[in-house]
């Protein structure tokens, strides 16, 4: 049940968190055969796209603090999918995909893509595009409020 105020106005945060949980379950099910969770797939994809990002840059891109990112990277490192390497200076570390990590990402990508295409077809391309726009605008509004 989504919390609401006395006027029956539903909590935006609760609605978004509930939707995020359900979508996570949907993508996790699609990736189940690969052994990856969608959060792990997202990390691997971003590491590949950013090409050896620093831990700080990756955390910024994912809107995570460094401690949370490090904790999320640990199972990927333990599985041999990523490694931490020296960064551009003595204090920084970069994250890179291993060959095994690239193989895992290639194995998982078609599963993710099928789930993404199916969801967009079921919901409609206009709806999913509007959802991305609305979420982007809502996050920007929340960020502006905090400044």
Average pLDDT over residues 50-62: 94
Average pLDDT over residues 43-72: 94
Give pLDDT tens digits for 64-90: 999 999 999 999 999 999 999 987 788
Count the Cβ atoms, other than its own, within 10 Å of residue 112: 19
Q: CA-to-CA distance for 102 and 73, rounded, in angstroms? A: 15
Count the Cβ atoms, other than its own, within 10 Å of residue 138: 12
Q: State yes or no: pLDDT of 3 exceeds 90.
A: no
Task: Name the nearest CA neighbour of 96 among 36, 40, 44, 59.
Answer: 44
Structure confidence at residue 11 (pLDDT)? 86
Structure confidence at residue 32 (pLDDT)? 97
pTM value > 0.95: no
The torsion angles phi and psi of 132, rounded to 5 degrees, stand at: -60, -40
Is 80 strand, coil or helix? coil
């Amino acid at each position: 049940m989504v919390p609401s105020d006395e006027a029956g106005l539903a909590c935006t945060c609760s609605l978004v968190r509930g939707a995020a949980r359900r979508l996570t379950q949907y993508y996790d099910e699609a990736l189940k055969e690969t052994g990856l969770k969608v959060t792990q797939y997202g990390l691997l994809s971003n590491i590949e796209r950013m090409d050896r990002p620093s831990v700080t840059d990756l955390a910024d891109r994912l809107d995570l603090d460094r401690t949370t990112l490090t904790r999320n990277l640990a199972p990927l490192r333990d599985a041999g999918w990523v490694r931490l390497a020296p960064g551009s200076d003595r204090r920084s570390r970069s994250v890179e995909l291993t060959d095994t990590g690239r193989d895992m990402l290639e194995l998982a990508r078609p599963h993710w893509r099928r789930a993404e295409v199916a969801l967009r077809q079921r919901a409609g391309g206009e709806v999913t595009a509007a959802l991305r726009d609305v979420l982007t605008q809502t996050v920007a509004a929340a960020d502006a409020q905090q400044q």
